[in-house]
Structure 1
Amino acid sequence: MESTIEHFLETISPETKDICYRYIAMIRQDYARNVIADTSLYLNSLLGGLANTKNFQNIEKYCMFLGCPRSGHTLVSALMDSHPNMIISNELDALKFFAKGFSKEQVYYLILQHSKADAKIDRNIGGYSYKIPNQGQANFNQVKVIGDKHAPLTTTRLCMEPTLLESLYNKVGVPIKFIHVIRNPYDNIKTIATKDFGGLKLEVAMELYFLLCKEVLSIKERIDRSNILNVRHESLIQNTQKVLEEINYFLGVDTPNGYIENCSKSIYKKPHKSRHETKWNEQLINIIRENIDKYDFLKNYEYSE
């Protein structure tokens, strides 16, 4: 909700606020573009959606991601995309196309094509390969779950446009499932500071991180709890089988033979504790700890763990 975002921005520093306003302006500009501006994309997706009607006729769930960047969403979405009953694209920004009036078949086709394009480059994203061996990403048997991973942008879009979620429910006609991938906030904040917006102060990265946490919480309050799954990045690494089985159960798909074993080959042996790669002052550590205590989904995360 625009008013909600404006309210959130009242409590942050001018430097962080400037970044947020530029980000929001980019989204608004994107909305303002004519839906038919790219005639080729519109027509191709229209024809592609019609041609793939059979592939999409058994879809039971639509899946979206909520949360902060650098949390591990890309890994989770890659693992899901390698499942024979799922197609999950990486940062297509499917919500944008739904908001612009594309039909669900058009968006599903764009998701499929985006997934195939990533598979051709071994799901190489941001300098990392998210290829899952022996799973054949973008290859599927019967598609039961389809969706797009773009957690921070999806989170902000749903806050800016309060009617978008209801419109999406009406358009897809199946249950919408939300996955929120969570990582130790100190690691998450440090990585945002290093890799996003050309480099940020830790204090600014912290404000952006907790702004998104506020947005996530405001969205979760509008969604039935049964449609939200929190996935801790550290738990996925430490207990891969349990977490993947939880995701599959949440989405209503079976766990095929070999799926867990193949996925495990693409997962780090231990979480990367990037917080230890920089110096923190005690005051900032304590401020983050105080903010962690405000969110149940961040419970028990510590700097010293």
Structure 2
Amino acid sequence: MESEKAKRFKLVSGFFWFYYYVVSYYKGKKLKECFSQIDKYIFFIGYPRSGHSLIGSLLDAHPNLIISNEMNALHFFKKKYFRHQIFYYILRNSQEHSKLGRSNSNYNYVVPNQWQGRYTKLIGIGDKKGGKSTAILGDENYVKLLDDIQKISQAKLKIIHVIRNPFDNVSAMVSRQVKIGYPLTETLFQERKKLYLSKVKTNAKLKAQIPNDICDVHLEDFIAAPKKELTRIFQFLEIEVSQKYIDDCASIVWKKTNHSRFDLSYWTTERVENFLKDIRQYDFLNRYNYE
């Protein structure tokens, strides 16, 4: 039987959802003209601790794009919100994060002289929520959900798949749990590894289903050559970029990647070999090793 506390929680949650729905409906309607030329909907898939925040922030700096940060826009598509409502929340999120300095995980992602939270003419919009988007697509009938996103957004889907060395991914995921108080155990390690591989499996299915709509971005390549990789991303997005924009974005990119795998003293030879067997099943991870 449902407790009184649970009933109150559902009641309060329902009220807030109703409030946000009404607000977004009317405020989004006022921005319909601003959204009228959007023909590309961009979202991220991937894994926790992969560099999505950096790349999402750089895209948000383009004068013709707005990219929200960690909004989980797929949730609104699942609830069948209208196009202008979802776009309103994406724009508001981008503006709020830009006012706060576009910082995350001790990094500052402010691009000098560019357009974060602002725009000249919007032709693309989207959300940066890589790991969660993959989880939602893995739990849902992803073919139907992708079709719903396309119909609601009335735009062409452009999906960015950010990839990092799997050993760094899992290590960072484990370290994050340890940092918030969980003991480093075999159970914790295996759970994080399983979570990572479940996302890999989902993304591999998506890549097989819609290969032309997904752009793989390897974080290591992006850090090594940000101007080249940004140019490639915008070719995929079919959006023009200025050299000034590329130069300003490249100026904030880190000089090297963080090798989290070397900070976690848990990778025995056996664990490394077992994990290599897991990731060798996927062509987009074949390049990676522990060393």
- TM-score normalised by the chain length of structure 2: 0.88
Give, in whole Å, the separation in 1 of the partners of 2:27 and 2:233.
29
Report deviation, 1:50.
Answer: 1.1
The answer to whether the aligner puts 1:258 opposite 2:228 as a matched pair is: no
Q: How does 1:1-305 map to 2 (within 5 A)?
A: 34=14, 37-162=16-141, 163-196=144-177, 198=180, 199=182, 201-223=188-210, 225-279=211-265, 280-304=267-291
CA shift at 1:196, angstroms? 4.2
CA offset at residue 145 of structure 1?
Answer: 1.0
Looking at structure 2, the residues matched to 101 and 300 of structure 1 have their Cα atoms a distance apart, in angstroms, of 39
Secondary structure of the corresponding residue to residue 44 of structure 2: strand
Query: 1:203·1:284 contact (CA, 8 Å) conserved in 2?
Result: no
TM-fit CA distance, 1:296 = 0.8
2:54 and 2:109 in contact (8 A); partners too: yes
Q: CA shift at 1:286, angstroms?
A: 0.7
Relative to the length of structure 1, the TM-score reads 0.85
CA distance in 1, matches of 2:161, 2:53: 12
Identity %: 34
1:295 is matched by which residue type in structure 2?
Y
Unmatched segments (≥5 aa) in structure 2 = 1-8
How much does 1:294 deviate? 0.6
Contact 1:159 1:219 in 2 (8 A): no
- Amino acid corresponding to residue 186 of structure 1 in structure 2: F
The alignment of Structure 1 onto Structure 2 pairs a total of residues equal to 272
123 and 143 in structure 1: CA distance in 2 versus 1, 3 angstrom threshold: same
In 1, the alpha carbon distance for the partners of 2:177 and 2:93 equals: 23
* Residue 271 (structure 1) shift: 1.1
CA contact (8 A) 2:39 2:154 kept: no
Q: Distance in 1 between matches of 2:243 and 2:69?
A: 25
Structure 1 residues not aligned, in runs of 5+:
1-28
Cα RMSD after superposing both structures: 1.8
Give the whole-Å Cα distance in 2 for the aligned partners of 1:144 and 1:283.
Answer: 50
| Distance (whole Å) between structure 2 residues aligned to residue 257 and residue 128 of structure 1 | 24
Match in the other structure for 1:14: none
Aligned-residue offset at 1:246: 0.8
CA distance in 2, matches of 1:128, 1:48: 32
In structure 2, the residue corresponding to 1:272 is in which secondary structure?
A: coil
